[in-house]
Amino acid sequence: MQVRFADTRPQGAYDLALVAAAGGTPAGVPEGAGALVADALKASRFEGEAGSVVELFVADQGTTRRLLVVGAGRGEVNDLQKAAGSLVARLLTSGTETLVVDLNGVAAEAASAFAAAASMRSWRHDRYRTKLPAKQRPTLKELVILGADGSGWERQRAVVEGVALTRELVSEPANIIYPQSFVERCRHLEELGVEVTVLGEEEMRALGMGALLGVSLGSEREAQLLVMRWDGTGGAVKEPLALVGKGVTFDTGGISIKPAAGMEDMKWDMGGAGAVAGAMKALALRKARAHVVAVCGLVENMPDGKAQRPGDVVTSMSGQTIEVINTDAEGRLVLCDAITWVQKNHKPRTIVDLATLTGAMIISLGNEHGGLFSNDDSLADQLIAAGKAVGDPLWRFPLGDAYNKLIDSPIADMKNVGPREAGSITAAQFIQRFVDNGVRWAHLDIAGMVWASKPSSTWDKGATGYGVRLLDRFVADNFEQR
Ligand code: BES
Ligand code: MN
Ligand code: ZN
């Protein structure tokens, strides 16, 4: 769907949407339709609640026009996103091609948030639905926003495109997206000025990345370390912000195999890497004045005659040894080598990793917040603030020695799982053992946020693109030179 800001209504057929604040009445009602609209709102018990919609047909400019009155609540950014989401959800497959929305009086920031939400809500992944009936196909092609300042949209559009890349990577099944094809889907970032470097298994072996490579042993697909670097500071900032993503393109559990029911969900076990890739796209498209390096550890976790076994001991790139008690706790094995690599090669002062790391995270927070773990209070606060501002919420969990002890191993430096209790925290403690002294680090366990079983104002069922808006905002507020 295209979005355009304009001063006047377009020619040709379109639906018209008007917004009404809580307890208020809509402005811009077509001449002569005032009584009809007022009656319709009253009959529908419309009170302007954010996202509520009343639909009617009115005579307007010589045609019969579909008119939608949408509630804008208190007019906050979040309220306008809800309004945009409801309108698009309702009209996406309605037969309508153009929607004109009168946003007269809405501030620039809220107007571009409206545009972004509308655009994100229209995203679908229909690639494999060859028999979709005509009436279920999207028809909505264009959104025209009237009466608002569109100066913030260009920047928002970059973020929306980043979200779309993430959703595409997450939605594709694991026979289509595997480590090498994930890399190929990110190659186009080079045209935006992102430096893309890829390490294959031979290079990783030479570097001693035994933890990451151990996960990949059972797979026919070659593991990849994808590195994307964006420097929008022209070399002025030497130490980049590092983003690290778990990119397990399919997680069977390995020899510690998962039950069959729901295993198909594990195609989105690369959601952390997907979010990192989408964020890099957003940053490059909007030419962010920041220096950011992203590392995606891409592997497939499969059972096989060559797969690693429970009890195997692997040596990580850091030199620390790990007893692999459970081959299904593979994400941390991938992340630890990716983190060591980025510390050795780019000397970041701040690292943020994103991963669909533990099922326990979903037990704790459901699908409402990502879990945040950090060794630095100011970094944690920055991430929480960014997430809150854009609607990718985070909730902080504790770390500490008592938890850290739980992953000591009698035969190696550590084991890859602790007891059942505090499973998300011991996973974070594992990762922290690979973070160098003096490095600010945060781990985002986004297992509950990557995939949605029900629609929201900015997504349909399926891939959410969680993390892209969060990282974009986090960079904008804390790492960009003005
Ligand atoms: N990818 C999973 C975590 C996950 C589960 C994400 C469900 C999203 C939905 C991860 O690799 C995993 O299998 N974790 C194990 C860890 C356990 C073996 C300590 C888990 O959560 O069960
Ligand atoms: Mn697993
Ligand atoms: Zn996993």
Asked whether residue 152 is assigned to any structural domain, the reply reads no
The ligand that comes nearest to the alpha carbon of residue 299 is 3
Ligand 1 centroid, distance to 294 Cα (angstroms): 23
Ligand 1 centroid, distance to 440 Cα (angstroms): 25
Whether residue 215 sits in one domain with residue 125: no
CA distance 284 to 281: 5
Residue range 169-186: mean pLDDT, rounded: 99
Asked whether residue 151 is assigned to any structural domain, the reply reads no
CA distance 288 to 473: 11
We report the CATH number of the domain holding residue 248 as 3.40.630.10
In this model, does residue 278 exceed pLDDT 80? yes
In this model, does residue 482 exceed pLDDT 90? no
Which pLDDT does position 105 carry in this prediction? 87
Please enumerate in sequence order all residues whose Cβ is within 8 A of that of 407, keeping only pairs 6 or more positions apart, or say none.
414, 415, 416, 417, 418, 426, 429, 430
Please identify, by atom number, the ligand 1 atom nearest to the C-alpha of residue 266: 1
The residues that bridge with 445 in the sheet, in sequence order, are 355, 371
Q: pLDDT-derived band of residue 32, with 50, 70 and 90 as boundaries?
A: very high
Reported for 137-141, long-range contacts at CB under 8 A and 24+ positions apart, including other chains, are 137/93, 138/92, 138/93, 139/92, 139/93, 139/94, 139/95, 139/96, 139/97, 140/1, 140/88, 140/91, 140/92, 140/93, 140/94, 140/96, 140/97, 140/98, 140/99, 141/1, 141/2, 141/97, 141/98
Asked whether residue 325 is assigned to any structural domain, the reply reads yes
Place of tokens 């970059």: 158
Please identify, by atom number, the ligand 1 atom nearest to the C-alpha of residue 265: 9
Ligand 2 centroid, distance to 185 Cα (angstroms): 24
Please identify, by atom number, the ligand 1 atom nearest to the C-alpha of residue 248: 1
Whether residue 70 sits in one domain with residue 21: yes
- The catalytic residue among 4, 124, 155, 258 is 258
Please identify, by atom number, the ligand 1 atom nearest to the C-alpha of residue 331: 11
**Percent of the chain predicted with pLDDT > 90:** 99
- The catalytic residue among 66, 82, 90, 332 is 332
Ligand 1 centroid, distance to 456 Cα (angstroms): 25
Pocket test for ligand 1, best of 358, 424, 445, 466 (most atoms within 8 A of CB): 358
What's CA 173's distance to the chain center, in Å? Answer: 17
Which pLDDT does position 481 carry in this prediction? 79
Nearest CA-CA partner of 294 in 334, 232, 244, 345? 244
**For residue range 422-456, what is the model confidence (pLDDT) as tens digits?**
999 999 999 999 999 999 999 999 999 999 999 99
In this model, does residue 472 exceed pLDDT 90? yes
Whether residue 243 sits in one domain with residue 203: yes
Nearest CA-CA partner of 275 in 357, 190, 354, 177? 354
Question: Tell me, what DSSP letter sits at residue 74?
Answer: T
For the chain, how many structural domains are there in total?
Answer: 2
Whether residue 292 sits in one domain with residue 169: yes
> Are the CB atoms for 371 and 444 separated by under 8 Å?
yes
Which pLDDT does position 413 carry in this prediction? 99
Whether residue 168 sits in one domain with residue 46: no
Annotation says 246 is catalytic? no
Whether residue 360 sits in one domain with residue 265: yes
Whether residue 170 sits in one domain with residue 91: no
Whether residue 111 sits in one domain with residue 26: yes
Whether residue 315 sits in one domain with residue 173: yes
Q: Specify the length of the chain in residues.
A: 482
**For residue range 105-160, what is the model confidence (pLDDT) as tens digits?**
899 999 999 999 999 999 999 999 999 999 999 999 999 999 999 999 999 999 99
Please identify, by atom number, the ligand 1 atom nearest to the C-alpha of residue 258: 13
Nearest CA-CA partner of 438 in 379, 371, 357? 379
Whether residue 408 sits in one domain with residue 462: yes
Asked whether residue 441 is assigned to any structural domain, the reply reads yes
**For residue range 242-262, what is the model confidence (pLDDT) as tens digits?**
999 999 999 999 999 999 999
In this model, does residue 282 exceed pLDDT 80? yes
The ligand that comes nearest to the alpha carbon of residue 447 is 1
**For residue range 195-249, what is the model confidence (pLDDT) as tens digits?**
999 999 999 999 999 999 999 999 999 999 999 999 999 999 999 999 999 999 9
Which pLDDT does position 209 carry in this prediction? 99
Whether residue 258 sits in one domain with residue 366: yes
Whether residue 171 sits in one domain with residue 91: no
Residue with CA nearest ligand 1 atom 16: 329
Which pLDDT does position 218 carry in this prediction? 98
Ligand 2 centroid, distance to 388 Cα (angstroms): 29
Ligand 3 centroid, distance to 31 Cα (angstroms): 58
Alpha-carbon distances of 326 from 214, 330, 333, 403, 425, rounded to whole Å: 12, 8, 11, 18, 16
Pocket test for ligand 1, best of 299, 300, 328 (most atoms within 8 A of CB): 328
The ligand that comes nearest to the alpha carbon of residue 264 is 1
Annotation says 258 is catalytic? yes
**For residue range 299-317, what is the model confidence (pLDDT) as tens digits?**
999 999 999 999 999 999 9
Beta strands 291-301 and 224-231, pairing class = antiparallel
Ligand 2 centroid, distance to 348 Cα (angstroms): 28
CA distance 405 to 421: 13
Which pLDDT does position 231 carry in this prediction? 98
Place of tokens 């008592």: 402
Structural domain that includes position 445 = 158-478
Ligand 1 pocket, residues with Cβ under 6 angstroms: 251, 265, 269, 326, 328-331, 356-360, 362, 417, 423, 447
In degrees and rounded to multiples of 5, residue 394 shows phi and psi of: -130, 150
Listing DSSP states for 401-466 in one string gives HHHHGGG--SSSSEES---STTHHHHHHHHHHTTSPTT-EEEEEE-TTTSEESS--SS--SEE--T
Please identify, by atom number, the ligand 1 atom nearest to the C-alpha of residue 253: 13
What's CA 65's distance to the chain center, in Å? Answer: 37
Which pLDDT does position 133 carry in this prediction? 96
Which pLDDT does position 86 carry in this prediction? 98
**Percent of the chain predicted with pLDDT > 70:** 100
Residue range 25-42: mean pLDDT, rounded: 96
CA distance 377 to 318: 26
CA distance 21 to 17: 13
Asked whether residue 153 is assigned to any structural domain, the reply reads no
We report the CATH number of the domain holding residue 90 as 3.40.220.10
